[in-house]
Chains A and B, each alone.
Chain A
């Protein structure tokens, strides 16, 4: 039983990893960021390229990916998203366009293929990242053999969640962000630089997605279209948990992951997936605002 719960925990942490960045951009800023999956994908490519060109292992790729995708998110907010606040459907369409651009940029190696150049690690094919030796194989805890890499993912997710919580609830930036979530106009009237804060928040969300990408690269193949399916799971978690609530996102990821593992082990994988979607539908029907939602005024 303990090993099943651990697998559920590991599924949860992967869901949370992707959803954490979304909880910040979608939850806090109200932007349906369809390019979030592509930020995860770019994070994974940072790990691939860092390994090939710098000889850096997975651990070193984590801060690197955070910086790269964070900077990209910052640029994206400055150039596109900033002009679309309050236009929910337009942000959806615009960020989806950016998602396709990013996918093609990797596939066409930033256009270098047209000049007959090939950068190892880019292109339409599958890539892989070697996992450092000490993260392979298993670790025995309470007489149970646990997958070390999954333990590592759980640990990183916990650290990132605590950090995100700290930023949102214990720093001046976080206070501004929360003020903007509640009421952007009022926050601006109180002297908060809404534009600047939004740029930084978006960069933070994108950076978190980049880190998720590096960790994903360790146990699956890396390809330009890997992000598309993940963004769906991410939104599922954020919406179930309640938009704007970090606690809700954490709880939803935990519940959905465990339900997935328990149903999959009792029945099979296909039912496991179906059970998760069923729970999401029920939650949205019964509690449209999600499991944890703050009261608006």
Chain B
């Protein structure tokens, strides 16, 4: 019996010894502040998501060089979501439960965000999500740094109707939630602007055969194409468009997803003359942006590296997070959530601000026309940042908010 008691004591002591450093840690103020960066480092989405991961690390290294957050250095724990929502959920669990981080920067697709959301809500941790998305979400555990449909469309559609003088829209997208939500918002804006839409068509995600669709566009009598196509399909779409003899001068493609990355991958001559609506373009002519591009290129050690809208948001989100902690004086999720409300930052592309109500971000809508060199020319810039309305497709307006600091008002849906 002596043995058993000994055993129990040993276990208890060992347990105490293991636990002790944990308690000691809190006492040491200079202990690094750990955050997660959850992006696909492998798989089909890794090309883009690795760039976002680099931007987070660039921001963290710059903050560290300037003295850190509350005197503590940031330590970024990089996890690989492997382009698979299930892996994203597992890795989020690891970061939040085993590593006990309060903040994770990460996710790129809506599918991966939806997969990790329950973990952040149940464990009360914060997710900073930088990609533009379809809206229709109001979590108290996510800070949304990207554009929502009202940023990308409410300025864009009237501009297409009035400035370009287009009256008949052909709406085309990849077959999943983002393009379908974007189409819904577009249709109401098109009708409000006195124009009409002649078709609303979808193609499988990742599909690269555009012959039939482009033929339909040709025969539809549309004078403008509104494209919510994502990923690889974009490249074959623009190529087929030109190869079937359609010209961007007569029927311009006005896109919401096509960025510097896809333009470089398709060959700039195919997109020259088409338009995209984004808050950030690599071509934005501000000293802050030129310096950002230079620092990013040095950081990833590639003198020809491209920057684009989600990359910019991945970068500035870390600064907003830092300001939130400094304002609240604490690193917990509750402190960050309250601290980040109303925070402003002068991002590379222009000033941004986290909304007090819905934790989405005020950004400035810009419309760029793609040029033969693969860069855009800003043809229309909104004078100031616009309030984010994640439920604009369901009738949300600045006077009648659905998503507020207390959560989503489901009675309004």
Contacts and interface: CB of A to CB of B under 8 A. Distances in A.
A124 B47 contact: yes
Contact of A268 (B44, B201, B215): B201
B240 A219 contact: yes
A138 B245 contact: yes
B243 A149 contact: yes
A126 to B, nearest CB: 4
A261 B240 contact: no
Interface stretch (A2-10, A31-39, A86-94, A193-201): A2-10
Nearest to B199: A268
Contact of A145 (B175, B232, B235, B245): B245
Contacts of B211: 7, 10-11, 147, 150, 261
A220 B235 contact: yes
Interface in B193-211: 201-204, 206-209, 211
B209 A14 contact: yes
B46 A147 contact: no
Interface stretch (A65-73, A241-249, A269-277): A269-277
B213 interface: yes
A128 interface: yes
B291 interface: no
B215 A128 contact: no
A229 B209 CA distance: 12
A212 to B, nearest CB: 14
Nearest to A230: B208
A137 B207 CA distance: 22
B239 A219 contact: yes
Given A126-B265, A265-B216, A220 B47 contact: no
B306 to A, nearest CB: 10
B244 A145 contact: yes
A16 to B, nearest CB: 14
Q: Which of B201, B242, B244 has the most CB of A within 10 A?
A: B244
Interface residues of B, number: 29
Contacts of A4: 215
A134 to B, nearest CB: 12
A221 B204 contact: no
B318 to A, nearest CB: 25
A130 interface: yes
A270 B202 contact: yes
A136 B212 contact: no
A270 B204 contact: yes
B283 interface: no
Contact of A220 (B202, B203, B232): B232
A3 B232 contact: no
Contact of A223 (B215, B232, B239): B232
Contacts of B158: none
Given A7-B211, A124-B47, A269-B201, A221 B265 contact: yes
Contact of A147 (B175, B202, B208, B244): B244
Contacts of A145: 244-245
Contact of A269 (B213, B245, B265): B213
8 contacts: A11-B211, A14-B209, A126-B235, A148-B243, A149-B243, A220-B235, A220-B239, A273-B204
Interface of B: 44, 46-47, 175, 201-204, 206-209, 211-213, 215-216, 232, 235-236, 239-240, 242-245, 265-267
Interface of A: 3-4, 7, 10-11, 14, 124-128, 130-131, 136-138, 145, 147-150, 219-221, 223, 225, 229, 260-261, 264-265, 268-270, 272-273
Given A136-B242, A145-B245, 6 more contacts: A138-B244, A147-B240, A221-B265, A225-B44, A229-B206, A269-B212
The 5 closest A-B pairs by CB, nearest first: A138-B245, A126-B265, A221-B235, A264-B212, A220-B208
